[in-house]
Amino acid sequence: MCCVLCRRVFVVLLSCCPLLMLGCPSEPAQAPAPTAGEAGSAVSESSEPDSATDLGEPTDAETVNEASPAATDDGSTPQEPTPEGTPEPEPAPAETPEPATSSATGNQELLPTSVVLGDESLYEGIPGEGPLTVEQVKEWLATPGVHESLSITLPLGLSLGEKQIVGIEENPLTRAKIELGRQLYFDKRLSSDGTISCASCHDPAMGYGAQTQFGVGVEGQTGNRNSPVSFNRILSGPQFWDGRAESLEAQAVGPIANPIEMANTHDVAVETVKGLEAYRVQFDAVFGADSVNIDNIGKAIATFERAIVTGPSPYDYYAAVKPFLDQFPTEDDLGELKEDEPDLYAEYEEAKALADEHPMSESAIRGRELFFGEKAGCTACHVGANFTDEKYHNLGVGMDAEEPDLGRFAVTGDEKDKGAFKTPTVRNIELTSPYMHDGSQKTLEEVVEWYARGGHPNEWLSEKIKKLDLTDQDKQDLVAFMKSLTGPFPMVETGRLPE
Ligand code: HEC
Ligand code: HEC
């Protein structure tokens, strides 16, 4: 949330507005549907060190974030996203007010340049109705702040992965670039026959995936792989199930020229975009004069994708309060905390209130133990803030076919990579059935059965995949845990494309 007076973003409910000298609303009820932005956690360090100051001084509330779940989930899992963390009292440095506007152009206020990804202002499109006119675009591009590099933090939960952020130094996030990428992402005119956009297979309404076994492209063509999700890409380097695209930018231009996806050529797509003045004006403003080309199309789309992140899930809220409960297990302990460390206690209360409001079921809590623990061992691969090691493993999926898809092997030529695919995130996984690189498994129950059986035996099966000794209840609990990983997406404008 942003203070109307000082235009600073206060992402943690506890932080104070220096001008009002008031706490920001501590009642989550004032934020009806907690969005990623609102419930975001503050991490004072910006991933872009230069602009870290934009965010102001660290707030005391960030200790909640540091005392993150992952640290306590299983000390034996070295890949956990955070360093050790138990709530440590931390003084809240006095905040110095900033001028209400630093806009050089005078009457218009500078849009905030420090944001928590998920903040809806990033995706709401250029104001107005219907197709986007050149006039509207020009007016909006003149808004102070739209071209500033954003200093970003990630929402609670995902914020544990701030150190893994990739790509934004090479291709900084700006509001104008996110908006341009948004338009391109939803624009079917990039395909050969005007029927398919990125969103056809990575649809916000379907968890940024598609509910078909394989991606369905121009003229109903299909390949042999399931559409993975296009969110939380900001924490992901090489793209595709086999990692053949070295960056999101490189990935983004692939589908346009893929004969079974958008079936276009890059040249024709570039000409189409060039032919629309509203696009031309935006490319010029974002990338410089005469800059409509395929690389910049890729950069803009990648920027939009990086901005799409999952908001806090019940698991994340639970994880934020868990360290307090571990360290102060009894009412007496909490009473003492209240007396000795009132600020820290207030943080605890805040975290507790949010966790109570987004509860994890008992089953999901048991599933969490299994997922992180030895018995199911899922975090051997689904680890870190985005629940993936970004590495390639053979689970035996599809290996019973006569000519199996050899996955990573096609990229590296390395024998051991045969049948290995990139570990997908399991955030918001309940929204993106069917599962696996070949879309062969329809439900999470089926997936858990697959793991319980130890995958499908084959010469290259990962050593980390073994038969699991799970009861029916355990299996249900694992599914319940995965469902507790569902967090909100920001609302994204899907129309408002250049006329
Ligand atoms: C016809 C359906 C289809 C269309 C259209 C499509 N994709 Fe995909 N996308 C897929 C499939 C299938 C894969 C997996 C392919 C593979 O791994 O070989 C994929 C992979 C990806 C990935 C990699 C995710 C990861 O986890 O590695 C991203 C990101 C992505 N697409 C974004 C886009 C963007 C951006 C566009 C528009 C320019 C787009 N896609 C258009 C089906 C589609
Ligand atoms: C050895 C690493 C590894 C371990 C251990 C592992 N996974 Fe996976 N997981 C993967 C990979 C790799 C894939 C994709 C495999 C494919 O499509 O061929 C995957 C796919 C999945 C999917 C489907 C995701 C999607 O978008 O299609 C789910 C759900 C899942 N795993 C849950 C679990 C659970 C639950 C456990 C623990 C019981 C677990 N995983 C253990 C690596 C692992």
User: What is the SS3 assignment for 285-301?
Assistant: HHHCCCCCCHHHHHHHH
Q: Which ligand is nearest to the CA of 186?
A: 1
Tens of pLDDT along 421-431?
Answer: 999 999 999 99
Q: What integer best gives the mean pLDDT of the chain? A: 82
Q: Which ligand is nearest to the CA of 241?
A: 1
Phi, psi (degrees; rounded to nearest 5) at 222? -130, 155
In the 8-state DSSP scheme, what is residue 490? Answer: P
Q: Which of 28-32, 302-306, 314-318, 480-484 has the lowest mean pLDDT?
A: 28-32
Cβ atoms 488, 311 nearer than 8 A: yes
399 lines ligand 2 (CB under 6 A): no
Tens of pLDDT along 58-100?
Answer: 333 333 333 333 333 333 333 334 333 344 444 444 444 443 3
Burial class (CB in 10 A: 0-12, 13-18, 19+), 96: exposed
Q: Which ligand is nearest to the CA of 447?
A: 2
> Domain 367-483 maps to which CATH number in 1.10.3470.10, 2.30.40.10, 1.10.10.10, 1.10.760.10?
1.10.760.10
**Mutation probe of ligand 2 site: the residue of 201, 310, 381 with most atoms within 8 A of C-beta:** 381
Ligand 2 atom 43: residue of nearest CA: 381
- Quick one: which of 434, 478, 420, 430 has its CA closest to 452? 478
For the chain, give the number of residues. Answer: 499
Identify the pLDDT of residue 84. Answer: 36
Q: Which of 78-82, 280-284, 338-342 has the lowest mean pLDDT?
A: 78-82
Answer yes or no: pTM beyond 0.75: yes
Question: What percentage of the chain has pLDDT greater than the value 90?
Answer: 74
Instruction: Return the biggest CA–CA distance within the chain.
Output: 70
Tens of pLDDT along 394-413?
Answer: 999 999 999 999 999 999 99
387 lines ligand 2 (CB under 6 A): no
468 lines ligand 1 (CB under 6 A): no
**Mutation probe of ligand 2 site: the residue of 79, 428, 436 with most atoms within 8 A of C-beta:** 436
In this structure, are strands 151-153 and 114-116 parallel, antiparallel, or unpaired?
parallel
Cβ atoms 405, 437 nearer than 8 A: yes
Question: What percentage of the chain has pLDDT greater than the value 70?
Answer: 78
Closest atom of ligand 2 relative to the 229 alpha carbon: 26
Ligand 1 atom 20: residue of nearest CA: 240
217 lines ligand 1 (CB under 6 A): yes
176 lines ligand 2 (CB under 6 A): no
Q: In Å, how far are 4, 5, 7, 453 from 99, measured between CA atoms?
A: 12, 9, 9, 61
Tens of pLDDT along 126-138?
Answer: 999 999 999 999 9
35 lines ligand 1 (CB under 6 A): no
State the CB neighbour count (10 A cutoff) for residue 231.
26
Whole-number Å distance between alpha carbons of 440 and 91: 52
The mean per-residue pLDDT over the stretch 103-121 comes to 78
Identify the pLDDT of residue 41. Answer: 37
pLDDT-based confidence at residue 110 (cuts at 50, 70, 90): confident
Give every CB contact of residue 119 below 8 A, 6+ residues apart in sequence. 9, 35, 36, 37, 40, 490
Whole-number Å distance between alpha carbons of 444 and 425: 13
451 lines ligand 2 (CB under 6 A): yes
What's the distance, CA 268 to chain centroid? 31
Whole-number Å distance between alpha carbons of 273 and 67: 47
pLDDT-based confidence at residue 260 (cuts at 50, 70, 90): confident
- Quick one: which of 204, 223, 240, 119 has its CA closest to 439? 223
Whole-number Å distance between alpha carbons of 477 and 482: 9
Q: Which ligand is nearest to the CA of 202?
A: 1
| Cβ density class 408-443: b for 16+ within 10 Å, e for less | bbebbeeeebbbbbbbbbbbbbebbbbbbbbbebee
One-letter amino acid at 395 equals: L
How many Å lie between the centroid of ligand 2 and the Cα of residue 421?
A: 10
Tens of pLDDT along 209-257?
Answer: 988 999 888 888 988 999 999 999 999 999 999 999 999 999 999 999 9
One-letter amino acid at 489 equals: F
